[in-house]
Structure 1
C-alpha cells in the first residue's frame, strides 16, 4: 500500500496572513476614526466661524444703533427737565429755545409760541423720533444647537455663548417694548425703556468683545 505524503503545514505563512488581516482591520478602524475625527473637527471649526461672523455682525449693528438711540434719551431727558421746572410746559427764553432747537433739530421743531413775560415764552412743537430697531441674529447659534455640534464646544465657551444669546433675547424684548411705547406715543415709557435697553446693550457689547477674543479656542 502506498501512502500519500502531505506537505507540512506552513504555520509561518498562516500566522503572517492572520497578522496582516489583523493589521488591515486595525488600520481600517484607525482610518475610519481619524476620518470621523477630522470631519467632526472641520464641522466644529465651521460652526465656530459662523458664530464668530454672526457675533461680529451683531456687535457692529448693536454699537451703531445704540449710539443713535442714545441721542433719543438725551433729547427726552432735556425736554423733561424743562417741563419739570414749568409744570409740564416749555417755558424758556427765545435764546434758550433757539439753542435747544438747534441741538435737537433732528427731534424737535417749534410750531408756535406764546408771550408770557419779557424773555419768557411758552413753546409748542412737533417731536420726531425715529427709533433704530436692532435685529440681532441667532441663526448660526440655533443651527449649531439643532445639529448637536455645540456639544463639542468647551464648557467655558459654551457657558459664555449661552449667556450672550440670553442677553440678546432680553435686548430684543425691551426693544419690542420701546417700539410699542413709541406706537402708543407714550414718551415717558419710551424714555424709561430706552435707558434700560442702553444698560443691557452695554452689557451685551462687553460680552461680545470678550468671547470674540477667545472663540477660536473653543475646541
Structure 2
C-alpha cells in the first residue's frame, strides 16, 4: 500500500512564527514605552512638587533669617552702650535711636536724670524667635516611591546636599529654641551666629536648585 506524505506549508508556519515573534516584541516594546512614559510623568510631578517646596521654604527662610539675626546685633549694640558698671547712661536722643532701631526687642521702663543731659535708662527686653517650618515632604515622598533614582546623578547630589543643610538648620533652630527657653543669651547668640552661616548657605542652595531643577527632567 503506497504511503502518502502530507504536504507541509513551511512558508505558512514560518510566517506564523514570525508574526508571533513580532507580536510578542511589539507587546514588550509597548509595555516598556508605556512604563517609561509613566516614569517620566511621575518624575516631572515629583520635581515640580520639590520645586514648590523649596520656593516656599526659601521665602520663609529669607524672612525669618533676617528677623532672627537682629537678636545678636541687638545685644551687641546694647552691650556697647553700657558703661563699666553695666549701666545705660545715655542722652535721650541716643537711647531713643536705639529703641527705635529695635522696637520689638526693647521697651523703656524707667529713666532717671544723672546730669549733663544724660539719663540712666532701664528697659524691658523681649526676645521672639521666628521658627521656620522647613518642609521636606516632597523630597521624602520622592525617596519612598523610588522616583528620586530617575533624577540623574548631578541633580540627585544637589538635592541630597540641600536637604542635608536643611536638616542642619532645623537642628540648630531647636538648639536656639532650647537656649531661649533656658534664658541663656550667650548660648542663643552663639547658635544664631552659626545659623547665620548655615541659612545663608541654604538660601544659595535653594536659589541655584530652583533655577536648574528643570534640567533634571
Same fold? TM cut 0.5: yes
Query: Quick check: 1:80 aligned with 2:104?
Result: no
Greater shift after overlay, 108-117 or 21-30?
A: 108-117
Deviation at 1:6, TM superposition (A): 5.4
Alignment of 1:7-22 (within 5 A): 8-22=7-21
Residue equivalent to 1:41:
40
State the SS of the aligned residue for 1:133: coil
Deviation at 1:7, TM superposition (A): 5.0
Q: How many residues align?
A: 217
TM-score, reference length from structure 1? 0.91
State the SS of the aligned residue for 1:112: strand
State the SS of the aligned residue for 1:125: strand
State the SS of the aligned residue for 2:135: coil
Q: 1:90 aligns with which of 82, 85, 88?
A: 88
Question: Quick one: distance in 1 between partners of 2:85 and 2:174?
Answer: 31
Residue equivalent to 1:171:
169
State the SS of the aligned residue for 2:114: strand
State the SS of the aligned residue for 2:111: strand
Residue equivalent to 1:100:
98
Question: Quick one: distance in 2 between partners of 1:119 and 1:87?
Answer: 19
Question: Quick one: distance in 2 between partners of 1:114 and 1:185?
Answer: 28
Residue equivalent to 2:151:
153
Gaps in structure 1 of 5+ consecutive residues:
none
Residue equivalent to 2:195:
197
Residue equivalent to 1:132:
130
1:2-53 superposed Cα distances (whole Å, 9 cap, x missing partner): x585552211111111110010011111111111111111121111111111
Deviation at 1:114, TM superposition (A): 3.1
State the SS of the aligned residue for 1:123: strand
Deviation at 1:180, TM superposition (A): 1.5
Residue equivalent to 1:180:
178
Question: Quick one: distance in 1 between partners of 2:152 and 2:172?
Answer: 31
Give the 4+ runs in structure 1 shifted more than 4 A. Answer: 3-7
Residue equivalent to 1:61:
60
Residue equivalent to 1:122:
120
Deviation at 1:189, TM superposition (A): 2.4
State the SS of the aligned residue for 1:122: strand
1:189-217 superposed Cα distances (whole Å, 9 cap, x missing partner): 22232222122111100001111111112
State the SS of the aligned residue for 1:121: strand
Question: Quick one: distance in 1 between partners of 2:87 and 2:197?
Answer: 30
Question: Quick one: distance in 1 between partners of 2:85 and 2:206?
Answer: 43
